[in-house]
Amino acid sequence: GLRLAARSGSCHQCLYQFLAFVPPSNGSLSKPGTASVMVDTQHPLTLLLNSSVGDTQLCKIQYHFGEFGNYSLVVKTLNESTKTVSCDLIINEGPINSYLPILFAFLVYMGILAVLIVMRLVMKIDPVRNWVYKKLNPRETDRLINSELGSPNTTDSINCDPALHSWSSASRQRLHSLDTFRGLSLVIMVFVNYGGGKYWFFKHESWNGLTVADLVFPWFVFIMGTSIALSLSSMLRWGSSKWKVLRKILWRSFLLILLGIIVVNPNYCLGPLSWDNLRIPGVLQRLGFTYLVVAALELLSTRAEGGTWEAPYPALQDILPYWPQWIFILMLEVVWLCLTFLLPVPDCPRGYLGPGGIGDFGNYPNCTGGAAGYIDRLLLGEKHIYQHPSSSVTYQTTMSYDPEGILGTINSIVMAFLGLQAGKITLFYKDQHKQIMSRFVIWSIVMGIISAILTKCSKEEGFIPINKNLWSISYVTTTACFAFILLLLIYYLVDVKKWWSGAPFLYPGMNSILVYIGHEVFENYFPFKWKMQDSQSHAEHLTQNLTATTLWVIISYLLYRRRIFWKI
């Protein structure tokens, strides 16, 4: 008899997992021993065939199987005395092209975009435009209220002091690129949370590495930091006291944390909320705490009178005046490094960054997340953190682990602080587009160099691998590198050249809290979800997930047209 085992290409240093036992053929070629198995098609697999007697390795095959394909691994004995065999992989039925639904969806959305562009060109014809305006009578929505988490609208004020209305019209304009960036991140987040068409690259990485799904949350944190810089500056310029601003920061943070614990909680689908299994960490909780720390830090360092500090090096005038902030952030990072690499964790090696389970050859099955997981389980309790981490499938981990845990919050603060730096750049170089864009490029290069050093340009072999579950510092610098580049592109297209209005991402970006909470609460309700005919079909999943995401964009557009904005 034969023993067939497999190991996923995405599972680093994993043990082979038993698939099937193939009974002997008893020398009869007409009735060979057979066994049927179903295997993963997301990543390449390594198949290992051993003899059941003596556990001798007979053959090893690496292959990337296709979805719904039918394959045969034919094993023949070539020499009885030397026990040599041949292993041939035969394709009985070819796999389907699982990416065709994505291509079709892309073409559909491009067609819709083309129609909208044509309509916009037609609207430039005076008679047509006048007729449409007369029929629709649209409201003027240029003066919009601040969106949540401090979107930079310098037209709004807390104290409407007439003496402060001497600002130039350019400085009073809203930076739509920030709302567009936030909206883009939110739309991808909603799509990913709804399932992402069941494609692996729209799911979170099982442990080390980066997928599309891993980009959006740090981008949201990043743009929150950018908005903090601009909104606090605006509030203080309009004469609001620091104590009043601080009370607003505390209230916003409290509401975000409360909404995350009470409203957006993954355990509510299990029945009435109970403290016995209530998840304490979460996305909104982390946003609330991160906002509190970064906004308070910026408030303490900002001059209420809006004065500027003359830096000895003009090229660093957006950094040197805030050296206490940098010291604080560096101290936080030292705390993260010390806890991560020096904290003793029972039955685990110090500085362990692995997933546990069958990873690292099964030597540390209960060490998921190392110090980060240990701190959460110790302080919050196993039942009050996330029960189904992304590592549970590939690495077969059994320990609970929360990707929004306590230790990772330190690096989310660092991420928001980098976004805060982007906001300071736009303040110091107001209307100097080349300066702003060049500094975005410099920061992106710096973040990329740091990431390359920390990871050694490797997924698994670096000093500190990119890891969303741990929110490792290399994960922060890598996603910040992409964030600076993306913000540069959107800023250039939307606010500099004005080639793009930011639509449709602008609308959810201006109502982000409503869209995020709404998509979580109504996730299992029609028309956001319905019973599918084939639950294994990418096409059906993609249709459902794109429909749900598009509906939230439409809802945010309708709210925008009616000047309805939910802010906290």
Rounded to an integer, the average pLDDT of 234-255 is 90
CB distance 451 to 478 below 8 Å: yes
Does residue 66 surpass a pLDDT of 60?
yes
pLDDT at 147 over 80: no
Q: Quick one: pLDDT band at residue 159, thresholds 50, 70, 90?
A: very low
Q: Of 342, 158, 313, which is closest to residue 232 (Cα–Cα)?
A: 158
DSSP 18-43: EEEEE---TT-SSS----------SS
CA dihedral of 126, 127, 128, 134, whole degrees rounded to 10: 100
Considering only residues 140 and 277, tell me which one the structure prediction assigns the higher pLDDT: 277
Q: Give CA–CA dist 193/516, Å, rounded.
A: 10
What confidence score (pLDDT) does residue 30 get?
65
| Spatial CA neighbour of 280 closest among 187, 375, 353, 182 | 375
| Higher-confidence position of 150 and 109 | 109
pLDDT of 24 reads 82
pLDDT for res 236: 86
User: Residues 373-385: what's their mean pLDDT?
Assistant: 93
pLDDT, mean of residues 342-348: 94
Among residues of the chain, what percentage have pLDDT more than 90? 66
What does the pLDDT average to over 339-357?
94
Selection from 38, 39, 78, 33 nearest residue 52 by Cα: 33
Q: Is the pLDDT of residue 28 over 80?
A: no
pLDDT at 374: 96
Output the pTM of the full model: 0.88
Which pLDDT belongs to residue 453?
Answer: 96
Which residues have CB under 8 Å from 472's CB, separation 6+? 353, 411, 464, 465, 466
Strands 45-51 and 2-8: antiparallel
Q: What is the pLDDT of residues 400-455, one digit of tens each?
A: 999 999 999 999 999 999 999 999 999 888 888 999 999 999 999 999 999 999 99
Lowest mean pLDDT, pick from 14-18, 152-156, 266-270, 454-458: 152-156
271 pLDDT band, cuts 50/70/90, is low
* Beta-ladder partners of 4: 20, 49
Average pLDDT over residues 137-148: 44
Q: Residue 312 — pLDDT band, cuts 50, 70, 90?
A: low
> How much is the pLDDT for 82?
61
Residue 117 neighbours by CB under 8 Å, 6+ apart? none
The residue-averaged pLDDT of 228-244 equals 88
Task: Tell me the average pLDDT across 525-531.
Answer: 91
Per-residue pLDDT averaged across 519-537, rounded? Answer: 90
Q: 370 pLDDT exceeds 50?
A: yes
Predicted pLDDT of residue 270: 55
Q: How many CB atoms lie within 10 A of CB 233?
A: 20
pLDDT in tens, 445-486: 999 999 999 999 999 999 999 999 999 999 999 999 999 999
In the prediction, which pLDDT does 67 show?
Answer: 92
Beta-strand ranges (E) seen in 361-456 are: none
Each residue of 187-219: pLDDT tens digit? 999 999 999 999 999 999 999 999 999 999 999
Please determine, for residue 164, whether its predicted confidence score (pLDDT) is greater than 80.
no
Question: Which among 440, 461, 460, 462 is positioned nearest to 450, based on CA atoms?
Answer: 462
Does position 542 have pLDDT exceeding 70, yes or no? Answer: yes
Instruction: Work out the pLDDT band at 158, boundaries 50, 70, 90.
Output: very low
How high does pLDDT run on average in the chain?
Answer: 87
Task: Give which of 233, 222, 250 is closest to 321, Cα–Cα.
Answer: 233
Confidence of residue 166 (pLDDT cuts 50, 70, 90): very low
Q: Distance between CA 506 and CA 177 in Å, rounded?
A: 8
In the chain, the percentage of residues whose pLDDT exceeds 70 is 88
pLDDT at 205: 94
Q: What is the pLDDT of residue 278?
A: 85
pLDDT at 344 over 50: yes
Residues identified as active-site: 204
